Amino acid sequence: MPQYLTPGVYVEEIMGGARPIEGVGTQVAAFVGFVTDPDAPVGVPTAVNNWTQYTSVFGGDGPSSALTLAVHGFFLNGGDRCYVLNVGPDGTVGGTADSPGISALEHIDEIAIVAAPGMTDAGSFDAVLSHCELMRDRVAVLDAPADVADLNALTRPAKPRSPGASASGGSASDAEAGDADSGEAASPPKPRASGDGAAPRQSEWGAVYFPWIRVLDPLTGALVDAPPSGHVAGVWARTDGSRGVHKAPANETVRGALDLTRALTPSEQGLLNSAGVNAIRSILGSIRIWGARTLAGGSSEWRYLPVRRLFAFAEESIQQGTGWVVFEPNDQVLWNAIRRDIRAFLRRLWRDGALLGATEREAFFVKCDAETNPQENIDAGIVTALIGMAPVKPAEFIVFKVSQYAAAGGEEAQ
């Protein structure tokens, strides 16, 4: 407390009102892969803000690797900032003795989207998903294999590859990179056998997309097959900026996609959708993302991608916005302040359309009182707030029931 020893007028600044909880960013992506430029930095995440900056750091000589195609697709579809981690031609997503791999991204808080373009083997899938599960503030965008002989393979998890097999599972872009020094044309990828699993394992922290897309190589101008993860990450960033993280990044045009490597029928998409594989389809002459599911499984409460990303966004925002609570006196005054600040944040989400309900009571609740903070917790230095949110889920199945109607005699049609 201040001491007043000399008569006079004292002016003091005091804390007033709520401490606003600012929403964290959700549009920054990270891409893990390799480039053929021997002078490009290896093992160090590099922030890139536009395509020109990327080519100046990682090389502008073609043909493009899967990583280069993905970064170009990200910026083309609305992304404005990403991190690029070049693991080198001999590196892996999970890391080696000479390269830390994806773990090099752990200290970068602003990352919200992670992809390893063209890496479609079980080891790469697991490395990316495990990273996102560990961090709990980012979600993975995964590519299904380029060629699958039987779509049922996308309903079963991929098995670890044998030593010496390609880390990409036979992607065309990796074949290009492997033959870049010899100047030979890349061999087409081999289809996955019908009995082999080709999908990532179950996880609420990842989403997988199929099929690959055909784009123009930004470095050579040739028509090439590209993994969709970079373009999809750009659509995620674009949707977050225009509508919010609660909006499903689906029914959105994939800019730069000229064609698909495989045209899916509605029945084929039904098979994939049930397995959590998001389809990319040609709808009315436009290449669009036509799915918004995670790999959590059909019965999980986290099966919808916008729900998983919304909660990750809210949890991180609340965590960072309530840092002032640490070492404050753990009493009723603190509990009231916590409730006030978190309610103000959730109220903004509700007004933006992220939470379901006609009233605040229906949309969310915040409980922080003597019931959630018994004396034994206070003695242990623990303060607990219980938060509940009712997320808006995407309208995935639109059903109109139509029947014939015979108007009764003498009545006007309504």
Sequence letter at residue 317: S
Interhelix angle 51-58/66-76, nearest 10 degrees: 160
Domains of the chain: 29-307 (3.40.50.11780), 322-409 (no CATH)
Q: How confident is the model at residue 262 (pLDDT cuts 50, 70, 90)?
A: very high
Question: What does the pLDDT look like over 78-112, one tens digit per residue?
Answer: 999 999 999 988 889 998 877 789 999 999 999 99
pLDDT in the model for residue 178: 40
| Residue 8 neighbours by CB under 8 Å, 6+ apart | none
Q: What are the φ/ψ torsions at residue 154 (nearest 5 degrees)?
A: -80, 0
Q: Assign 14 a pLDDT band (cuts: 50, 70, 90).
A: confident
pLDDT, position 177: 39
Select the more confidently predicted residue: 121 or 407: 121
Average pLDDT over every residue of 338-361: 96
Q: Which residue has the tokens 């090389």?
A: 59
Whether pLDDT at 40 is above 50: yes
H or E segment at 244?
Answer: none
Contact in structure between 312 and 243 (CB atoms under 8 Å): no
Please state, as a whole number, how many other Cβ atoms lie within 10 Å of the Cβ of residue 376.
Answer: 8
Query: Which residues on adjacent β-strands are paired with residue 70?
Result: none
Q: Is the peptide bond before 41 cis (omega within 30 degrees of 0)?
A: no
pLDDT of residue 324: 93
pTM of the model: 0.89
Q: How far apart are CA 384 and CA 339, in angstroms?
A: 11
CA distances from 238 to 110, 191, 234, 248 (A): 16, 33, 6, 11
**What is the secondary structure of 168-222 as a DSSP string?**
TSS-HHHHHHHTTTTTPPPPPPPPBPTTS--BPPPBTTEEEEES-EEEE-TTT--
* Cβ neighbour number for residue 204 with a 10 Å cutoff: 23
Cα–Cα distance, 251 to 266 (Å, whole number): 15
Integer Cα distance of 28 and 235 in angstroms: 12
Give the whole-angstrom CA distance, residue 353 versus residue 81.
26
Q: What pLDDT score was predicted for residue 110?
A: 97
Q: What is the DSSP-derived secondary structure letter of residue 221?
A: -
398 pLDDT higher than 90: no
Q: What is the mean pLDDT of residues 347-357?
A: 96
